[in-house]
Amino acid sequence: MSKILIVGNSSVVLKTIENIRHNDSQSAITLFCTESLLPYDRWALPSLVARQMNEAQIHPLADNFFSQHQVEVITNEKLARISFKRKYVTTENKVQINYDQLIVADLGSLMPPAIKGHQKKGVFDCARLSSVKELIQYLPLVDIVFVMATNIHGLNMACALQGQGKEVVVVSSNRGLLADIFDEETSSLLKQILEEKGLRVLTESKIEEILGDTEVKAVRLHSGKVMAAQMVIADFMPLDWRLIAEETGYQKIDDEYFHTGLPLKPSRFGFKVLEGFCMGFTKLPEGGREYLKFDGPQNVFKKVFAQGECLVGAVLFNAPSHEAELLKTITEHIPVAGQEEALLGG
């Protein structure tokens, strides 16, 4: 009987288990949870900080999922070494787990940000439940939070923290906010709306050093300016693959959470600070067309992108009533040539 070992903590491993069991009811499956936690939905982590969800709700599976799919689950060990030639993994407690087939989603660690002082207490990522749980425990000691936002997850974390009464400073190294995702017009308006809601946004800026003896006390920006802070959150820390970077003989499965290019999966953002939605292409694609409607006093912004006969992307600010129709139009590839402006409504 073949032994399949799956390593990782995100919800993508659950789909992998389902796919295996659809075709193979005999192989032994072992799931090694790299954060000593059951798999969870990374996209929901800001909702945990915003107190819109509890920890049990971000685990997207039924209580009997693992028994139903005949999966042995390991949550009390930490990964130390993988022997690809001999086909086993070793834990920090010297436990050896053999396998015939290895499938890896993540190794439970991220690459640290290239910032001096990143190891200080009060520095967190927003991609791991283990880190976010520590962040929540630390939050009562914090007044000012710096969030290095490069993607939707960082923006959501900033908005969630602002909703908890914290003074939030969003830092972007680009001219606009989330400039890798949105075009200049959209990112400029996003910055404007967030500032009107009380967040401070620093564009064309970056943190050079985190100051404090052992805990975060301040940050030094690349301009040399020093600003008080008690917490720093980085959203751009990629998965650390160094343990297996040069190896072969395993299958790697990708977590959509770490996908940074376009098109985007349907994403809601902003919480009560901003009701935002985006999906697909959020910048003008080559050979495409764009259509825009903006109500300044209400901060209602609607932009869609078309290519050929169909819509291929959309960005909405404070226009939740249009979300369902645009989602259906894009995902079902409904021809809309000549009707694009009508889809934006009044």
What confidence tens digit (pLDDT) does each residue in 170-228 have?
Answer: 999 998 899 999 999 999 999 999 999 999 999 999 999 999 999 999 999 999 999 99
Given strand 264-269, what is the order of strands in its sheet?
264-269, 276-280, 310-317, 300-307, 289-295
Beta bridge partners of 227: 219
- Mean pLDDT, the chain, integer: 94
What confidence tens digit (pLDDT) does each residue in 269-326 have?
Answer: 998 899 999 999 999 999 999 999 999 899 999 999 999 999 999 999 999 999 999 9
Asked if 302 and 345 count as a contact pair (C-beta separation under 8 A), the reply is yes
What confidence tens digit (pLDDT) does each residue in 55-66 have?
Answer: 999 988 777 999
Domains and their CATH numbers in the chain: 3-110+246-258 (3.50.50.60), 123-234 (3.50.50.60), 275-343 (no CATH)
- What predicted TM-score, i.e. pTM, was given to this entire model? 0.93
Q: Using DSSP bridges, classify how beta strands 276-280 and 264-269 pair: parallel, antiparallel or unpaired.
A: antiparallel
| Count of C-beta atoms within a 10 Å radius of residue 331 | 12
Q: Is the pLDDT at 42 greater than 80, yes or no?
A: yes
User: In whole angstroms, what is the distance from residue 343 CA to residue 312 CA?
Assistant: 13
- Cα 273-256-235 angle, rounded to 5 deg: 50
Question: For position 346, what pLDDT does the model report?
Answer: 65
What confidence tens digit (pLDDT) does each residue in 230-254 have?
Answer: 999 999 889 999 999 889 999 999 8
CA 70 to each of CA 35, 93, 98: distance values in angstroms, whole numbers, following the listed order = 21, 25, 17
Q: What would the two tokens of residue 187 be?
A: 């990112």
* Cα dihedral 53→56→60→62 (10° resolution): -140
Q: How many residues does the chain have?
A: 346
H or E segment and range at residue 268: strand 264-269
